[in-house]
Structure 1
Amino acid sequence: MIKGVIFDFDGVIVDSEYISYECYRDFLENYNISFSKDDYIEHCPGKTLVTTMNFFKKHYNLEYDIDNACAFFREREQYYVDKDGVALKAGIKDLMNYLKNKDIYICLATSSVKKRALTILNEHKLTGYFDDFVFGDEVERSKPFPDVFLTACKKISINPEDALVIEDSEAGIEAAHNAKISVICIPDMKQPDHEHCLLATKIYPDLSCVKDYIEQVNGNG
């Protein structure tokens, strides 16, 4: 029985991964490092900003202050958001209305920081759909560790076996699997590899398929 659905944010609720890629690309250009979309897809989705900046520092053997690097990223992100906006992923409002009508809890579990995520949700009038939130700075370990999803279950007072995670990244699939929570993957910039396909409960092309899955599991289909 699915009693609560836990949503990732970037790439699931909002179409924002391309903005993150551009921000990391701009940052590494300061060090004359070329950073492709394939590089982003391999190293970044599902990871916190601090985790990624620490990875770059070690991977590219760079010297910089992590706080300053994160500040640069956030400034560039705001520039791109102001310039182009952040669109919702297709079907997200329909799915949330369905969950509310079925009295299924809705929780956000994201690597993003609180201010950023809530600002975007407020702009799209989505904040009121959520019963609770878990942000990246609330947990010690980021995905693929299970902390963010286990914390979400505690916040909405359900057991992991009664939850469903909606994710787009391999790190997110792995985190849900490690939390022993069923996970549907809606791929965004990258199709999950074979190993992560085996860890996912289902892989669907878009959010419109999630409702039918819940209906089947909860005996309404």
Structure 2
Amino acid sequence: MKFFDKNIDIVIFDMDGTIFDTERLAIKLYIEASQLLGTPLGLDILEKSIGLNAVATEKLMKETYGEDYPYGKVKEKFLQLKFAHIDQFGLPIKEGVKEVFRKLRENNVPMALATSTDRDLTEKYLGISGLNKYFQVIVCGNEVAKSKPEPEIFLKAVDLLGSEASKCIVLEDSENGLLAASRAGTIPVLIKDIKYPADKVRKLAFREYESMIDIINCFEF
């Protein structure tokens, strides 16, 4: 497959903010959970945590609010609120995702999911949405030693698919994700979500798009 002047063997997707429109919901519900528990949690810290796995998020919050910050309790309350919301309203899939997935599968392009979300929650999301059938490989945040922005999660996905990083597109929405994709030697592509990365990180993207639907005609098979 060609993507502009690049020869591509595989495509790797981030999940939250790229496939599912869940980053806005997560920020809203994390703030609600912290308020219910009477613990501080600012928007700036939540935005910094986008793309981090649970271990890195806990580290960030304790560095900010102190070692006694009850991250486990806040996360537990957040998940309760999140599951209740999903049970009532469903899981929002971002525009163009299904079309891109179908196009790649029709042309036998292997796909991987590399998400900072833990395995249990990832499988719940994919099961609810019916998107699990598209991925040959899934790597989750609790299955790597180092979170994004380190490259480990993408390197592991590339290795499991038996390809090379230089022949891999990574679709990401977050600053941490773009940094990880670039450090892995893949071809980072930015899909806009709630917060643009800083300019110096945004420049790492080979291309950027407002929506996943905008990328579908850029593939040549």
Q: What TM-score comes out, normalization by structure 2 length?
A: 0.90
Q: Secondary structure at the match of 1:134?
A: strand
Greater shift, 118-127 or 26-35, is seen at: 26-35
Structure 2 distance, partners of 1:27, 1:53, is: 15
Q: Describe the shift of the 1:194–1:66 C-alpha distance in structure 2 as closer, same or farther (beyond 3 A).
A: closer
Cα distance in 1 for partners of 2:42, 2:34 equals 7
- Alignment partner, residue 31 of structure 2: 25
Aligned with 1:162 (options 167, 171, 174): 167
Task: Name the structure 2 match of 1:7.
Answer: 13
- Verify the 8 A CA contact 2:30 2:75 in the aligned structure 1: no
CA distance in 1, matches of 2:205, 2:113: 19
Q: What do residues 16-52 of structure 1 show as CA deviations (whole Å, max 9, x unaligned)? A: 012211232134323442523x5422x1210112321
Structure 1: which 4+ aligned runs deviate by more than 3 Å? 64-70
- Root-mean-square deviation (Å): 1.8
Percent of pairs with identical residues: 29
Distance 1:123 1:27 in 2: 23
Following superposition, the deviation at residue 194 of structure 1 comes to: 1.2
Deviation at 1:64, TM superposition (A): 4.2
| Cα separation, 2, equivalents of 1:186 and 1:66 | 29
Deviations 1:80-115 (A, max 9, x none): 222332210001010011101111111000001112
Q: Tell me the distance in 1 between the aligned counterparts of 2:41 and 2:117.
A: 25
Structure with the higher fraction of residues in strand conformation: 2
SS at match of 1:109: strand
Structure 1 residues not aligned, in runs of 5+? none
* Deviation for aligned residue 1:62: 5.0
SS of the equivalent of 1:199 reads: coil
Paired residues of 2:91 and 2:128 also in contact (CA < 8 A): no
2:141 to 121, 136, 155: 136
- Structure 2 unaligned spans of 5+: 1-6
TM-superposed deviation, 1:204: 0.7
Corresponding letter in the other structure for 1:165: V
Corresponding residue of 1:82: 87
TM-score, scaled relative to structure 1 = 0.90
Aligned positions, number: 214
